Homo-oligomer: A and B are copies of this chain.
Amino acid sequence: MGFDAYETIGFAAAVLTTIAFLPQVYKTWKTKDVSSLSLPMLILFFIGIVLWLIYGFLKHSPSMIFANSITVLSAILLLYFKLKYGKK
């Protein structure tokens, strides 16, 4: 199996859209400021990522399972922060 430029781009895309949410989780955790985060966004995103994770398992795709496992954790944390800190 040689170098696959297409899959390298796909892999870079997966890494970036996975790690993208980590600075958001960190910022929200530090500041407890959730005022400008949209609750419908967080709910739709969470359900969507859970479905991507299920799809990854069904397709036996380790990359999808790995990437979406991290993203689902980010989504759960952001949703939790929003519900916890959004009350005030």
Contact = CB atoms under 8 A, between A and B. Distances in A.
Interface in A16-63: 16-24, 26-28, 31, 33-38, 40-42, 44-45, 47-49, 51-52, 54-55, 58-59
A13 interface: yes
Main secondary structure on A side of the interface with B:
helix
Report the interface size class on chain A.
35 or more
* A27, A38, A42, A47 interface centre (most CB from chain B within 10 Å): A38
Q: Which 3 A-B pairs have the closest CB atoms?
A: A16-B48, A13-B51, A17-B48
Interface of A: 6, 9-10, 12-24, 26-28, 31, 33-38, 40-42, 44-45, 47-49, 51-52, 54-55, 58-59
